[in-house]
Each structure stands twice: as C-alpha cells, then as structure tokens.
Amino acid sequence: MTNLAQTDELFFNRTGMDPQRVERLVGELLHGMDDGELFLEYSQSESVALDDGRIRSAAFDTTQGFGLRAIAEDAAGYAHSSEISEAAIHSRPKPNSSPTSTPMPGAWTRACAR
C-alpha cells in the first residue's frame, strides 16, 4: 500500500470525510489569510513491560485529531480537536481577517509575534 493510499484510508475512508469537501472547507476557513494549514494526526502505540519474564504492565493508546493554523501578517490563529470529521473542522470559528482585530473566542487562540 502506498503512503497516499494509507493516508486516504486513515483520514478519509475510515472517517467518511470527502477530500474535496475538506479542501473547500479549509479554503473557506482560511479565506483572507496570508497562509494556513490543516494537520491531521492518527497514531497508535503499544507497550509491554516485563519483570523477571512476567508481564508487569501492558498499554495500548490511540491519538487522533486535527490542527488548523491560520496566519495573517504577524498573527497566527490555531484551532484543534481530537475528533477527525468534517463537522468538527466546520465547527471551528473562522479566524479574524485582520491581525489587529479582536481575537475570536472559543477554539481559536491568537498568538502575535510583534
């Protein structure tokens, strides 16, 4: 399986998201920004600790989610969720179109490097 096929399986086939709709949605959310990106994450890990040949502990963990970053002039806005879905991405507030305007409440965090 190619890397692109694995990516499609993890982020689109399993979640039911449509790549073209996600691209349009992110484009709408980042409209008027100088730059921005959508970061999708899915990772699994497992560990087993042995003590004198006996299992001491075992763990399995799945981490998933998305991050959306928007940049306008010298300000950056961030939104994130542990849910990977079009609805979760859509529910993120739109970033401000001006870095000097009042920051949006909620999931967007404004960080300025002036």
Q: In sequence order, which residues have a C-beta less than 8 Å from that of residue 49 and are 6 or more positions away?
A: 55, 56, 57, 58
pLDDT tens string 58-93: 999 999 999 999 998 888 888 889 999 999 988 865
Domain ranges, ordered by start, for the chain: 3-112
User: What is the structure's pLDDT at 10?
Assistant: 85
pLDDT at 97: 43
pLDDT at residue 92, rounded to an integer? 66
pLDDT at 36 > cutoff 70: yes
- Mean pLDDT, rounded, of the chain: 81
Radius of gyration for the alpha carbons in the chain, expressed in angstroms and rounded: 18
pLDDT at res. 74: 86
Q: How much is the pLDDT for 94? A: 56
Span 94-104, pLDDT tens digits: 555 444 443 44
Positive or negative, the Cα torsion across 80, 12, 86, 63? negative
